[in-house]
Amino acid sequence: MPRFRSTALACGLLLAGWATGAIALDENVLRASLEGAANEELSRLRDAGKEYDNPRIYDYVQSVLDRISGEKSSYHVFLTNTPDVIGYALSNRHIVLSAGLVARLESEAQLAMILSHELAHIEKEHALAVKVNQIEREESRSGGSFGSLLGRAGDLAVATSAISSITGGDASSVNRGVGTANTANVAIESLESSMAAAGPEGLGKELEKEADMKGVQLVKEAGYDVSAAIKSWEQLAKYSVNTDKRYLYGNPQALAERSKQTRKAAKKEKAGQGDGADSASYCGEVFEVMRWMATEDLDAKRFAAAEESIACALSADSDDPRSRYLNGRLLRDTARTTSNFREAIQEFQFVLEKIPDQASTHRELGYTYTDVKEYDKALQHLKRYLDLKPEAEDARDVKAAIKAVRVLQRTSASQEDW
């Protein structure tokens, strides 16, 4: 589970009323330790094989972020290979988005809205704000001073190690000021508890509102269609969940509130028309991720969601064999009439015209011909699948299907009207 998720903070007020001086030094070390933990988070994701390996999608999403920030290569996208709708900002100028989130959007303007919201969290240092707020609350509960809290935070060597990756191995900076080194030890803790304490009310809610307002401003300044962009929250709400707080945009109530806030911000900005509202163009850019997402949806029997992803992929390339194969699966899995099964057969036949030895298509055709009681053709394609993939994981299932079809074939023959 990601340790930092500044967008999951229902976030708010930026340290209003904080003193300067010695505390500012502590904030600098907090920044360093947050950045170090962010670097660790990215390393953890890479080591766990969680990075989405598709350079074309990476480059596209990064180009949108560069346009929004106006600073090419100053901020970076990291894509994860999960179908869940997840996104968060890290304190090392990285924005983590799941491939699933990218696939759930409808236009580049909507993608720009998500990235702008995350970028606002980074620029406004909301992770730092929440961490400092957590320390203040802990100090208040303990009845001690800020310095004494830091003094209890942990070992100097641990704190020094925590920030050494950011200071290039030179930890001398942590030795300035009372308790500054130990601040790193406090900050290296997961922000999960901080975010839970911060929202959805209080500081967390205010920081989220600020990110929404700033996000709309960034979208407008980048020349995107704000009216199209703010629909991103409503689009993601279609895939929201109520049971798992890991899902950043998974709270329907929060998404409804965000939609309301961004609409107010758009009205305040008096935003006119801009770029990025064309869904067909977006589908062309994220074509591969849409096909991938459709496969995930079909496997999970999320048929309504799969239909959207497949339609998007087909709008980009109506003759793409893989998209047609996925559409055939969808038609078969949702079929209610013989006509639906026939439509699925047409899609699978199209694929085999392009790729005659596409094994999975032979298997699906075998199952679908069984559904329409054309047993000879069903056996032909199921056997062809095993010829092409004799060691397939589902080989035993296909062999069992062949036996079942032969029984049906014999039963059908015996019932013929002589």
Confidence (pLDDT) at 177: 26
User: Is 97 within 8 Å of 196 (Cβ atoms)?
Assistant: no
Task: Kindly list the domain boundaries of the chain, sorted by start residue.
Answer: 22-269, 319-414
Residues in the chain: 418
Confidence (pLDDT) at 270: 67
Task: Give me the percent of the chain exceeding a pLDDT of 90.
Answer: 56
252, pLDDT greater than 50: yes
Asked if the bond preceding 200 is cis, omega within 30° of 0, the reply is yes
Confidence (pLDDT) at 241: 60
Q: What is the pTM of this model?
A: 0.78
Distance CA 4, CA 125 (A): 13
Distance CA 367, CA 375 (A): 10
Run of H or E including 406:
helix 395-414
Question: Pick the residue with more confidence: 186 or 325?
Answer: 325
Render pLDDT for 274-289 as a digit per residue (tens, 0 to 9): 899 999 999 999 999 9
Confidence (pLDDT) at 244: 42
∠74-57-9 over CA atoms, to 5°? 60
Q: Which CATH architecture has domain 319-414?
A: Alpha Horseshoe (1.25)
Render pLDDT for 121-135 as a digit per residue (tens, 0 to 9): 999 998 888 888 877
Render pLDDT for 352-410 as a digit per residue (tens, 0 to 9): 999 999 999 999 999 999 999 999 999 999 999 999 999 999 999 999 999 999 999 98
316, pLDDT greater than 50: yes
Confidence (pLDDT) at 136: 78
Contact partners, residue 107, CB within 8 Å, separation at least 6: 228, 229, 276, 277, 278, 279, 281, 282
Render pLDDT for 162-221 as a digit per residue (tens, 0 to 9): 222 222 233 333 222 222 223 223 322 333 333 333 443 457 778 888 999 999 999 999
Confidence (pLDDT) at 129: 87
Confidence (pLDDT) at 101: 93
Render pLDDT for 29-41 as a digit per residue (tens, 0 to 9): 888 889 999 999 9
For 411, phi then psi, to 5°, come to: -65, -45
Question: Pick the residue with more confidence: 261 or 314?
Answer: 314
Contact partners, residue 143, CB within 8 Å, separation at least 6: none
pLDDT band at 258 (very low <50, low <70, confident <90, very high): confident
Read off the amino acid at residue 276: G
Confidence (pLDDT) at 29: 84
For 78, phi then psi, to 5°, come to: -125, 120
Confidence (pLDDT) at 260: 83
Confidence (pLDDT) at 183: 29
